Each structure stands twice: as C-alpha cells, then as structure tokens.
Structure 1
C-alpha cells in the first residue's frame, strides 16, 4: 500500500492560514494549484515577518532583505520554501522585481501607520495586492493582456475591502489605513477609531470608502478577458467572496469594531462549488 507524501512546507503554511484564497486555489488544475500554494506561502511568510509580534525590528529587516536579495540575485543557502518560490520565476517567466515590490509594500507596515492621501493609499494597495494579482495571472497561464488590468483592479478592490473590514483590528495595532485627508473631510477623529467608539460621521466616511472598492470591482468586470475567463476562475472566486464580504459589512452598517465580519463556511463552500463547476465546464 502506498503512503501519501507529507505536505510540503508551503502546503503546511497554506493549510494553517484558513484563508479565503486557500478555498479559491481548490478550483485550479493540480500543477497550477501547487505553484499558487508556493506563492501564497511566500506572501504569508513576508506578511508574518512584517506583522507578527515578538520579532526585533533589526531581525525583521534582515529577513526581508534576505528574501528580496535572494529573489533578485539568488539565495546563498535557501530553505525549502525559498527554493520553491525562486523556481516559480523561470517556470512562469515572472519578473523578479514584482516579488520585490510585494516585499517593499509589506515592509512599509514596519514604519508607516498612516496614509495622508487616497493616491498614497492606492500606491500601497498596488504593491501588496495588485502585484500579487500580476504574479498570479502568470501562474494561472493567462494570455490576454486585458488580464493584467483585471488583476490590478481586482487587487485594489480586495485590499480596500480588507482595509474597510479590518479598521477595528488595525486600530488595536495603532494603524489607520483610511486616508487622513478623508478623516479631515468627514470630520472624523483618530480617537474615534483608536478607541473603537465611532460617531455618525465615521459611518458616512466608510460608505465613501466602500464605494471606492465597489468601483474597482466594477472596473475589473467591465472588460473581462473572455478567452482567459476559465484561467481566472480562482481570481473570480476571490472577487465574488470579497464582494460579498463588503456587502455584509455595509449591511451591518460598518460594525467593524467587533468580531471580524466574514462569510460562513457553508457560503464559502457554495461559492467554491459554483466556480469549480464553471472551471470544469469552462463557462462564464
């Protein structure tokens, strides 16, 4: 009787994450799923280096530099995940500078806890989300240039949704991603956010932010790359999932200072089944 092989380090990281993306990856063909699991593990590791408590700042910097230099110039003594991530670059013809952009975006969380303007926030969203999409479409095997615009716009939408949903959680860590110019425009104080005691103006500002996310969801779907639709099944499932999360946040009148708002496991499984079937049948 053959024994199944133990999960790789990347697979273990993905299994522990219980992320919406882990659900979406189930829609992919096995070889592309394996490579996306490796890429997800990279993103998770970089995010943990930047965010996990108990790591000295100098160590965080050294670890991020090791990843950046290794992916740009080659690792000296790579571990299992580093070898797997580095192998994605030639296999899918990915520009290694894209990996460096993700690292730069997540590294900014070490020092930057405020964003003055909306364009400044979008620049952050591009690095930590849209660039993730640009690498993903290479792994998905997308061929239509329009898939690039889809990835960028969907990345903005997903990250803005995360920011809106996680306002309370981020505040506990002293971070406010909502643009300072919007706080001033809507007459919202930082104290309301940091103390978890929102006033009526905060709800109005959150409605404004959520409309920005909705605009990006609509942009992503405005001119879909028809011939890549089946290749984008995982991305489209992510878009559907997070759009529903955003609608749930809006329906609950932006109660983002309590338990994290999300979809039930049953709802996620229903979305997974729908998009898996679409992928198998290669339909819209």
Structure 2
C-alpha cells in the first residue's frame, strides 16, 4: 500500500493528542488548515482521485478530500506504525471524539465538518476502520463470499459514506456504491497481488487458486504460467460483472451527482483492461493508467452524466 507522509508519527498517534475544547467553526483558520492537510494527502496519494475531485464543487471537493485522507491515514497507520493495533485503537477513539464534536487530528477536524455539513453516516467511518483492522492479521480468504465481506468494509463503505457528499438522493444509489466499491477493490487486489503477498496477505480466494491449479507459493515466487493467466482471466471477469452492476444501478436523478464516481469507474476499468491484456505485468512495476488517459476518463464521465450515456 502507498505510504503517505502525514502528521502521524510512527506510533500512529499525533504528537499533540489532547482533546480540543471544541470543533473549529466554519471559516476558522484551524478548519481551513485541516482541509488543506486533507487536500495535501489526497494530492500526494492518488492522481486518479484528484482528477475526479475536480469534477465537484469546491465544498464537495473539500469534503471528499477529508474522507479520502481519513481512509489513507488509517491505512498508513496500519502499515507504517510500530504498533498498528494501538494506532488504530487511537483512531477508533478519535471517531468517538468526532461524534462528540471534539476531534483532535487535523484530518478528523475536517472530516467532522464534512460529516456535519453533508449528513454523512458515521457508521461507515467505523466500518472502514474495521476493514483496516482486519488486515492487521495476515490471512487468506477461503471463498469469494469471505473476500466480499472484506471488500465491503474497505471499499464499499467508502462509497456509501461518499454518497451524501456527492449529493445523491435516490436510495438505489446504495447499490451503485456497493457494487462499484467492490469492483474497485477487486481491481486493486489484482494490481497489488505481488506486493500484498510479500506482506503475507493473499486476497485471491483459495477456492479460485485450487480451481485453476495455482498455488500460494507460486504467487510468492511470481510463477507466470497458463494457470496464472486463466486465474486472472476468471478474476477479471468477476470484477467486470461488478462494474456492470454498478453501471446498471445508476438512478436517473443521481446521474449528475455521481460524476466523480463515474470518472473513477472509467479509470479503474482501463486499469483492469491493462491487467487483462497482460496478467504477468502485475509481477513487475505497478500497472498504471497514464494521466492523459485519466483526464480523458474524467471528461467522458462529465459528458456521460449530462447526456445520459452509459
């Protein structure tokens, strides 16, 4: 997972973690600084997300940056801290302070403001943290049903939290967010399969490995063979099914609100297509979509969400 410089020291807890007397009010320098930190984290982490952010209004872009920064920083707390369990326990306590209106970390300060302004259900923030905690213990997934539960926490819950920030009003958009979140996470799993294996994390379901005769130790040693390519083709097909499900779940009255999410869908579908075309590439440098193609995806999303095309 990508490491991002942040205000967290290696322990995962801010140097000044004492409770604040109250949340900064809108327009205050402290709140502006908190949002600026979130935007910095987003810019440093993902050009895909920052391009998608540009399709939103300033206020929605700020709020989405706060949500993204939260996801990024708790993920990094799990991967980069000396004591990941303690770091995530601190963030669980910080979520409680966020609900009470007394957050202390800059990212939580901005996120608290976004939650208040856009009525973001905080249960999804907790579910995201639970997903990160799952990764503290190296494990494998026996079935796709097992993996899907993990994907819900680390990806679908993010999309569900983002819906009110996007301005979605139709309850059917929940199905869109869940399907797209799972599709994005499955794409990430294929892209990062070698890196994750080195960390002791194998996300590809064991039932799939057995089906195609590809062993876990083959993954660790980067075996490139017909079994591997058949396995990837199967996983790509499943993932494309979730992208189709997301696309077919778009409610007409939320189409424009989902412009940023649709931009991400188009970018990640291109990423998946690159993996499908060359399954062995995931054992080399990280497979990426060029910035120029990402920009085209953003433009296509803007046009499609206004013209009704899918």
Q: Same fold (TM over 0.5)?
A: yes
1:65 matched to 2:102? The reply is: no
Give the 5 Å matches for 1:155-170. Answer: 155-170=181-196
CA contact (8 A) 1:241 1:271 kept: yes
For the residue of structure 2 that corresponds to 1:114, the secondary structure is coil
Q: 1:25 aligns with which of 15, 35, 53?
A: 53
1:12 matched to 2:43? The reply is: no
Distance 2:93 2:186 in 1: 29
Give the 5 Å matches for 1:1-284. Answer: 8-52=36-80, 54-71=81-98, 73-74=99-100, 78-276=104-302, 282-284=306-308
Q: CA deviation at 1:58?
A: 4.4
Q: CA deviation at 1:75?
A: 6.3
Structure 2 residue runs without a partner (length 5+): 1-31
> Which residue does the alignment assign to 2:12?
none
Distance 1:19 1:260 in 2: 14
CA contact (8 A) 2:74 2:129 kept: yes
Distance 1:65 1:143 in 2: 29
Number of aligned positions between the proteins: 276
Q: CA deviation at 1:50?
A: 1.4
Tell me: CA distance 1:209–1:278, structure 2 relative to 1, closer, same or farther (3 Å): closer
For the residue of structure 1 that corresponds to 2:229, the secondary structure is helix
Structure 1 residue runs without a partner (length 5+): none
Distance 1:162 1:172 in 2: 15
User: Per-residue CA shift, 1:190-228, capped at 9, x if unaligned?
Assistant: 111011123321211111111110000111112421111
Q: CA deviation at 1:147?
A: 1.0
Q: CA deviation at 1:266?
A: 1.3
Distance 2:93 2:231 in 1: 40
The TM-score with structure 2 as length reference comes to 0.83
CA contact (8 A) 1:134 1:148 kept: yes
CA contact (8 A) 1:98 1:131 kept: yes
CA contact (8 A) 1:174 1:194 kept: no
Distance 2:112 2:84 in 1: 25
Distance 1:152 1:91 in 2: 23
For the residue of structure 2 that corresponds to 1:256, the secondary structure is helix
Q: CA deviation at 1:89?
A: 2.2
Q: CA deviation at 1:137?
A: 0.9
Distance 1:150 1:26 in 2: 21
Distance 1:34 1:76 in 2: 20
Tell me: CA distance 1:50–1:42, structure 2 relative to 1, closer, same or farther (3 Å): same
Distance 2:237 2:55 in 1: 29
Distance 1:192 1:83 in 2: 45
CA contact (8 A) 1:192 1:199 kept: no
User: Per-residue CA shift, 1:25-68, capped at 9, x if unaligned?
Assistant: 1100111111111111111111111122x522443343333334
> Which residue does the alignment assign to 2:9?
none
CA RMSD of aligned residues (A): 1.9
User: Per-residue CA shift, 1:244-275, capped at 9, x if unaligned?
Assistant: 11011111134210011111111112222333
